[in-house]
Structure 1
Amino acid sequence: MKTINRAVRSPGGLSIRLDVRAFIVVLLLLAAALTASVVLIGTGDFPIPAADVLRTLFGQGNEGQEFIVNELRLPRVLVGLLVGASLGLGGALFQSISRNPLGSPDVLGLGQGATAGALTMIVLFSGDANQVALGALVGGLVTGLAIYVLAWKRGVHGYRLVLVGIGVSAIVTAVNGYLLTKSDIVDAARAVVWMTGSLDGRDWDQVWPLLGLCAVLVPLALCNARGLRMMEMGDDVSYALGVRVERVRLLLMVAAVLLTASATAAAGPVSFVALTAPQLARRLTRSPGPNLLPSLCMGAALLVTADWLSQRAFGAEQLPVGVVTGVLGGVYLLWLLVTERRAGRI
């Protein structure tokens, strides 16, 4: 399929360039994410056929199906979709800002920072689920601020951002190890389970805050996609084209940090979705630029598919979704490093 760009002009005179291939990829990824969601809702100890799942979602199921679908399984799937979309979009923003395929929250240490905040609430304060989620959100924000400040030198540039992020990640990982050694056996077990990344037990209490943040941050990021695309050509060119580079960069970095931290707060540190989703989306669209919307859809599709694999691919042994994404993402990272080395970029 060739990439085709078409200019669409509205009655008011506004001209919008439409990338047909990217548009088709977005539609296919949305269809894949929704299909995987329906299959996932029907998966479990009480399997429900896809047709019955759809009828129940439209209010035509029996009482038992409505309880299982609407109260037990639908919130988990919605959290998976929102977490995957947040990580995919956050990863695309960071990779575009740093102009580096390795510039994802996993490498920069934002997940480790959110983990440090959650471990602080678990180990030092024996906090409940809401307090742990708040601690993860604060930890991610503080880590993101530290990376930005340390990487600043007449602006924030790609490789400096990545290198500072790797250093901060190492420090925060050491802090997390220290917190685990100071915890008792019960808190340590609870912390390890949270650190794996899982959608088990997620309910509507996790859906609404994450949905509210996405409703604000996703339009904010998409509205600044044009400036972000120009920034990939370099700061000097962007300034010449009228882009307020540092303002746009700071705004989008805050949005990316919030997306990543809120996703981590909702499901724990789910590995590698933020790294792989933007790269896979770019390879499907074959389009230059940040590919924000395709990355968002790819992240959602990846996470719900990985959650289905974690429940079905290993028989009775259901794995946390973070284990599956970690294995798949680690293989992809090795392949990406080999590819970048052969291309002479690292």
Structure 2
Amino acid sequence: MSVVSGVPVRVGALSFRAHPRAVIVVVALLFVVAGLALLGLLTGDFALNLAQLWNTLQGAGTGGQKYIVFDLRLPRVTTAVLVGAGLGVSGAIFQSLSRNPLGSPDIIGFSTGSATGAILVLIVFGGGMTQIALGSILGGVIAAIIVYGLAYRTGVQGYRLILIGIGVTAVLGSLNTYILTRAGLRQAQAAQVWLVGSLNGRGWSEVLPMAIAMAVLLPAAIVLGRRLGVLEMGDETATMLGIRTEPTRLSLVVISVALTAVATACAGPIAFVALAAPQLARRLAGSSGVALLPAAAMGATLLLGGDVLSQRVFGQNALPVGVATAAIGGLYLAWLLATEWRSGRR
């Protein structure tokens, strides 16, 4: 089992087990992210060479180069990395808690709840970007409370959580459609653009809240994540091993919901990154247990790669990254369902 494998490491009062293959995967993915980030900074309608980029980062570039790098490309790349990493961690937590590869925030309904909160603020109350972000976070939290409350029966079982989450997603999706039909043309267009999920126009105002969320929640997820492998063995076994199952599970749900809500507030409801990243990371790491850091690195790779690819392939008609991830993620979901069906896990 993953909970007893790996190399024991102690840093001060904190002890954990490092899996050599997982470490190699994280380092390799970070190199990929760095390469994609460099490509995103160098290429575009106004291409830069390495010397120009280096001088600009040091503050010696021209005014136009500084604007392109610091106001347009660098915040977009940084947002993609942080949002992708947050979604990867969130998906890994939920898939572990539900013990099901379909246990993803966008499947269970938390992303849809965030979208509901955002379009309510945008269309009903006419709020600005700050209010839309707050509405998105509040909507995700309320959706999580509803799903968790309905799924709770002397504990939360994975399949019940997923089934109820799918139902809540359908209801909220219908509500979102109804709200859009009652909106004016300009409001409906703005809401639809946001619902697609995009990194267009993202600036440092989106980077800051996501950076704070990752700085606070990622260490907490890693600390509590050591118990996820034990929880996967069942509540009875976890209790015998000294784990307070429901408080631990609830704390992890709060962390995951918060990461999803802030990521959605910053970039819109990006589809399938939270679903695919943990599974791909787990396969690369060769681990049957929870791989939070590989999932974070994979999420950053998928989202940044999808954004860079959509910009470079389609040029001036670049697709929003949410369209690219949905297209790729739909194929992945079909493959995942077929694999689960063939293995007899329904």
Shift of 1:309: 1.0
1:306 maps to what in 2? 306
SS in 1 for 2:316: coil
1:297 maps to what in 2? 297
Q: Which amino acid aligns with 2:209?
A: P
Give me the whole-angstrom Cα distance separating, in 2, the residues matched to 1:107 and 1:134. Answer: 22
Give me the whole-angstrom Cα distance separating, in 1, the residues matched to 2:266 and 2:232. Answer: 31
Write out aligned runs for 1:78-227 (5 A): 78-227=78-227
Give yes or no for contact 2:117–2:136 (8 Å, CA) kept in 1: yes
1:75 maps to what in 2? 75
Are residues 155 and 277 of structure 1, via their aligned partners in 2, closer, same or farther at CA, if it must alter by over 3 Å? same
Q: Which amino acid aligns with 1:73?
A: R
Q: Which amino acid aligns with 1:119?
A: I
Give yes or no for contact 2:9–2:18 (8 Å, CA) kept in 1: no
Are residues 184 and 13 of structure 1, via their aligned partners in 2, closer, same or farther at CA, if it must alter by over 3 Å? closer
TM-score by length of 2: 0.95
Give yes or no for contact 1:310–1:319 (8 Å, CA) kept in 2: yes
Shift of 1:65: 2.1
Shift of 1:220: 0.5
1:329 maps to what in 2? 329
How many correspondences in the alignment? 343
Give me the whole-angstrom Cα distance separating, in 1, the residues matched to 2:46 and 2:22. Answer: 38
1:256 maps to what in 2? 256
Write out aligned runs for 1:25-44 (5 A): 25-44=25-44
1:24 maps to what in 2? 24
Give me the whole-angstrom Cα distance separating, in 2, the residues matched to 1:332 and 1:242. Answer: 37
SS in 1 for 2:155: coil
Q: Percent identity?
A: 49
Shift of 1:64: 3.0
Write out aligned runs for 1:214-293 (5 A): 214-293=214-293
Give yes or no for contact 1:39–1:50 (8 Å, CA) kept in 2: no
Shift of 1:38: 1.3
5+ residue gaps, structure 2, are none
Structure 1 residues 277-300: Cα deviation after superposition (integer angstroms, max 9, x where no partner): 000001100112111110001001
Give me the whole-angstrom Cα distance separating, in 2, the residues matched to 1:32 and 1:202. Answer: 22
Shift of 1:140: 0.4
TM-score by length of 1: 0.95
Give yes or no for contact 2:310–2:318 (8 Å, CA) kept in 1: yes
Give yes or no for contact 1:7–1:15 (8 Å, CA) kept in 2: no
Structure 1 residues 285-329: Cα deviation after superposition (integer angstroms, max 9, x where no partner): 011211111000100111010001110112331110000000000
Give yes or no for contact 1:38–1:53 (8 Å, CA) kept in 2: no
Give me the whole-angstrom Cα distance separating, in 2, the residues matched to 1:13 and 1:220. Answer: 15
Q: Which amino acid aligns with 1:96?
A: S
SS in 2 for 1:315: helix
Shift of 1:62: 3.9
Give me the whole-angstrom Cα distance separating, in 1, the residues matched to 2:212 and 2:12. Answer: 31
Shift of 1:54: 4.0
